[in-house]
Amino acid sequence: MPHFILDGKEIQFIQGQTIIEAAAKVGIDIPHFCWHPSLTVSGNCRVCLVEIEKMPKLAIACSTLASDGMVVNTNSVKALSARNAVMEFLLINHPLDCPICDEAGECKLQDYAFDHSVGESRFVENKVHKEKRVSLGTHVMFDGERCISCSRCIRFCDEIAGVNELTFINRGDKVTIDTFPGKELSNPYSLCVTDICPVGALTSKDFRFKSRVWDMSSTKTICSGCSRGCNVEMWVRNNEILRLTPRYNEEVNSYWMCDEGRLNTFKSVNADIRVNGPHIKRDGTLVKAGWDEVFALATSELKSYNKSEIAVLGSAFATCEENFVLAKFAKSVLGIKNIDFAKHEKPNSGDDILIRDDKSPNSFGAELAGIHPLKDGLNFQNIMRAIDEKKIKALYLVEDDLVSLDEDYKKILSKLELFIVHSSNFNSTTELADIVFPAATYAEKNGTWINFQGRIQKLLPAVMTVEMDRSLDGMAMSRLDKFGTEFDRWGKSKKMNARPIWKIITSLANALGTKYKYQTSEEIFDEMSKTIDLFKGLDYQRVGELGVKLNVTTLAKVKV
Amino acid sequence: MEFKFTTENIEKVNKEISKYPTKLPAVMGILYIAQEQNGWISMEVIKEISNILEVTEEEVFGVVTFYTMYHQKPMGKYHIQVCTNVSCMLRGGYEIWNSMKDKIGIGNLGVTEDQKFSLEEVECMGSCGTAPMLAINEDYYENLDKEKALQIIESLK
Ligand code: SF4
Ligand code: SF4
Ligand code: FES
């Protein structure tokens, strides 16, 4: 393999790679603003200037091809002074409003200014002023003074979102970014420009001024918005989710995620209508009750029906582990055959970038974990019909708002004699329930989901329930979490009295006389890896941060 | 208001396009043809050109705003451009610029109410050897001083 020398280190490369690419592949970060691994090279910021032996002038690492035997220096006197000069130039008209800038703390300009510039400006003239609050579209705000004209946002729209929505206008020190008059930045991935903008010029209207980035913890988890399962970072302060950002996984979502997933999936976790503690219906309204009381009631009620009168609905929003325990419970504890789950397909809502028609994150996993009708059992449609015909009298449903799927289900479900629901939020389905178990959301538990590609991916808890402790349970910690006390404002966080499905089912099984011993979601996974062929050899460690693709040829057969 | 090239100009446009291997580079020449016909580059002009060249409106818009010789609003019958770049400045360019502003009563990129005059302060127009200078529409007036410049304006009908 050909190689070149970078700061004395031997770097192997593939013919056609640029210096910056080859370095990035082995984890060496050459300073850059305009270069982005997933976008075309534009070479306009010049901060990546390096000295190459035998070349008369400095060259930009982002567009110079690596060649065999090349000797590249990023830290020679010449290279360093060029970088300092570029930084000085970029900072001439920069407003330096870091104290009120959302990007501060994750800003490339700030980082490089710290690393590579002299710290003092020689510029005594007036700075050029530009618009500081330009709404480019529904979700994105633009600050002209902070922009360093790297064109990443323009290239993102052209090359990834496939719509040429942004352009440079004017020139020289008046140059700025804009849309065509009368048009907006409105592609479904528009907020990705806020991730790749190396400075605070493009910010999310939803997140603007919500928090300093270092005050939040970030947890590597998965978006719940559709069956793509984009890898994300979940940012939490004061036990409240403040934003999601995409996390790089070339196999799934590359560097991107859609606006819908970014903005509208996590708000239900923070919502005021969370189910906090178990609830029982008394005189037509749901009232709070204790766990033991509710377990006792559920047990005695479930016992009073024939097996053929009961149905269990798993969920494409619940984890594989939860669906697995639920299926096992339905089959061996309740001894029933009517098991299935509702699909959440929205035909033609997907695209060929990321967004999928299937609006649930784990329909593959639910099925694979055993949520499907047994021989002679009823499937979802038939279960609903049987409820309508009053043949099925008791329904056990987890994490699914059926009424939101179809208003008509309201009439059908109200015919039930016993309706037990696990739900994280009150909704038009829980209104009809006799017993509501408070469900921990996907942000409050461990577990796995399987995306449409058959890739198994791991969820990590980012938000505490009353039964969790951020530091004892190994959750991500921010500076505030580490050094705050309970007397601080951020110490008084809201915590829900909620449990993951597997935990509730475990207690219920025990109450019904079958010993389930699960202490963690991981133990259930280990059991699955012993009993489900496709999971053979897997454990949480191997699933890791980026997930593992299951053997899809077998998956096709599994589809029942 | 919709913009369409005249039959005569369509021919010019096609000739411009035929000069390049791809369509986009023709954008500058075509914008100029449009400006001659329309007087200025309106959003409708940009839309029409983007249709003809099969590029996005945004691309054309970027070019229009980059170059100062494309007018983004209707200008006067006489568009007066005064150079204040180094050579002209050294030889009294600012005096001419200021006297123009006073005389006509408008500022940079202003247009008189009767649409007769518009004024623009410009960078070097390549006439340094005969500085200071100004241009009225396509014609250059060189080796000026304040009096000469005022006389020229007086003579415009
Ligand atoms: S807005 Fe940000 S991404 Fe876009 S050109 Fe300016 S600095 Fe670059
Ligand atoms: S494409 Fe799907 S998984 Fe990805 S961010 Fe959007 S909703 Fe979430
Ligand atoms: S990163 Fe190379 S010029 Fe911008």
The predicted structure's pLDDT at residue A560: 40
CB of residue A32 inside a 6 A radius of ligand 1: no
Task: Please identify, by atom number, the ligand 1 atom nearest to the C-alpha of residue A148.
Answer: 7
Inter-chain residue contact A169 with B62, CB threshold 8 Å:
yes
Which ipTM did the prediction report? 0.86
Q: In terms of residues, how long is chain B?
A: 157
Looking at the domain B7-66, which fold is it? Arc Repressor Mutant, subunit A (1.10.10)
Map tokens 């996390």 to a residue. A247
Confidence of residue A117 (pLDDT cuts 50, 70, 90): confident
Please answer whether residues B83 and B122 qualify as being in contact, where contact means their C-beta atoms are separated by less than 8 angstroms: yes
Q: pLDDT digit string (tens) for A277-323? A: 999 999 999 999 999 999 999 999 999 999 999 999 999 999 999 99
Q: Comparing C-alpha atoms, which of A458, A447, A454 is closest to residue A557?
A: A454
CB-based burial label for A472 (10 Å; 0-12, 13-18, 19+): exposed
CB A366 within 8 A of CB A323: yes
Beta pairing class for A285-288 and A240-246: unpaired
Looking at residue A488, its pLDDT comes to 78
| Peptide bond before residue B132 is cis, with ω within 30 degrees of 0 | yes
Q: Where are the domains of chain B?
A: 7-66, 78-155
Angstrom distance (rounded) from CA B147 to CA B126 = 23
Partner-chain contact B65 A171, CB within 8 Å: yes
- pLDDT value of position B157: 72
**What confidence score (pLDDT) does residue A129 get?**
96
Domains detected in chain A: 3-92 (3.10.20.740), 279-558 (3.40.50.740)
Q: If you average pLDDT over residues A454-481, what whole number do you get?
A: 94
CATH tag, B78-155: 3.40.30.10
Digit-coded pLDDT (tens) for B78-126: 999 999 999 999 999 999 999 999 999 999 999 999 999 999 999 999 9
User: Quick one: B75 exposed, middle or buried, by C-beta within 10 A (0-12, 13-18, 19+)?
Assistant: buried
CA neighbor of A505 nearest in space, from A518, A495, A496, A522 = A518
Taking the whole predicted model, whether its pTM rises above 0.95 is answered as: no
Q: Do B56 and A182 touch (CB under 8 A)?
A: no
**In percent, how much of chain A has pLDDT > 70?**
98
What 3 state SS string does A199-242 have? Answer: CCCEEECCCCCCCCHHHCEEEEEECCCCCCCCEEEEEEECCEEE
The closest of A148, A144, A151, A83 to A114, measured between CA atoms, is A83
Q: Decide: A225 in ligand 2 pocket, CB within 6 A.
A: yes
CA distance B64 to chain A (A): 8
Question: Residue A281: CA atoms inside 13 Å, Cβ hemisphere, count?
Answer: 16
β A418-423/A394-398 pair status: parallel
Query: What local confidence, expressed as pLDDT, does residue A120 receive?
Result: 83
* A177 ligand 1 Cβ < 6 A: yes
pLDDT at position A559 over 50: no
pLDDT for the residue numbered B6: 97
B44 touches A: beta carbon within 8 Å? no
pLDDT > 90? residue A486: no
Interchain contact B43–A (C-beta under 8 A):
yes
A168 vs B contacts (CB less than 8 Å): 62, 66
CA dihedral of residues A537, A539, A542, A547 (deg, nearest 10): 110
- Report the pocket of ligand 3 as residue ranges, CB < 6 Å: A 32-35, 43-48, 60, 62
**Mean pLDDT for chain B?**
95
Q: Using the atom order of ligand 2, give the atom closest to the CA of residue A258.
A: 6
Q: Which ligand is nearest to the CA of A146?
A: 1
Give dist(CA A459, CA A481) in Å, integer. Answer: 21
